[in-house]
A = this chain, B = another copy of it.
Amino acid sequence: MATKKTAARVTKRTPRRSVLSDEIYDMIKAMIFNHEIEPGARVNIDSLSVQLEVSQTPVREALARLESDGLIAKEPLKGYKATQLLSIKELNDLFQFRLLIEPWAAEQAAKLIDNTGKTALKAEMQSAKTALKFAGDGQFQALSEHDSRFHTLISSISGNNTVADFYERTHCHLHLFRLYMANKLHLIDGETRGDFVQNLFEQYYQSGSGQLAIKEHDAIAKAILEQNPKAAKTAMHAHIESSLKRFSPVAAARN
């Protein structure tokens, strides 16, 4: 009988990856990320649960969390809808917030980094460079993902979990990626300001600023690895300001 039970257990379906509602949360977030759910679009619980082939319960929990993340908004008795793209002011506010915490985080990271951290930081920079060489069409996405990991890594090395946590909660790379995608999609739709937008991206992200961002990351990483707090702080500050300058025209094109 023991054998029988064991056999039964072996044949049993995979032991359950995690909690379904967490997976649904990630899935919906991804849908927002890549415009499967467009900014401002209504999010219907029923159709989502049908689409994802789960019941409403996990969908509801996921949406509740996404709401408190500020990624979707709830209007009582009217339902959820994806939040709009960042306005110019919101973009500025967000980057001002980042300017308050991230330069400090970089400074701390330079002070406190250990060998594990150094290895991780070097690895991230290395993998980013090789990935960006081949990314091709998905280059901006690859850049965005690297950017997210890079900043997350530094804030975690800072040793202050509260700061690291709040950086995460900005979901800034998600917001920036949505801005990028929104313009890109308009381009595909063949809007007349296509040339402007096209120029913007080719110039800023794929050839120009993509490389520029990596250069800025290099400067930050270098300062941290050399344990030079002042330099790390300045480099991070410069990077965030420079990044804001790159994104402002994109947001402006939509406001």
Contacts and interface: CB of A to CB of B under 8 A. Distances in A.
A65 interface: yes
Nearest to A70: B165
Interface string A71-85: 000101100000000
A94 interface: yes
For this chain, the copies found in one complex come to: 2
How many chain A residues sit at the interface, stated as a range, is 20 to 34
Contacts of A161: 90, 93
Contacts of A165: 70
A165 B171 CA distance: 14
A57 B61 CA distance: 9
A65 B68 CA distance: 6
A76 B163 contact: no
A92 to B, nearest CB: 8
A100 interface: yes
A214 to B, nearest CB: 26
A6 interface: no
A170 B161 CA distance: 12
B65 A162 contact: no
A166 B97 contact: yes
Interface in A84-100: 90, 93-94, 96-97, 100
Contacts of A67: 65
Contact of A163 (B61, B74, B77, B96): B96
A218 interface: no
Contacts of A22: 76
A104 interface: yes
A254 interface: no
A60 interface: yes
Interface of A: 16, 18-19, 21-22, 57, 60-62, 64-65, 67-70, 74, 76-77, 90, 93-94, 96-97, 100-101, 104, 160-163, 165-166, 169-170
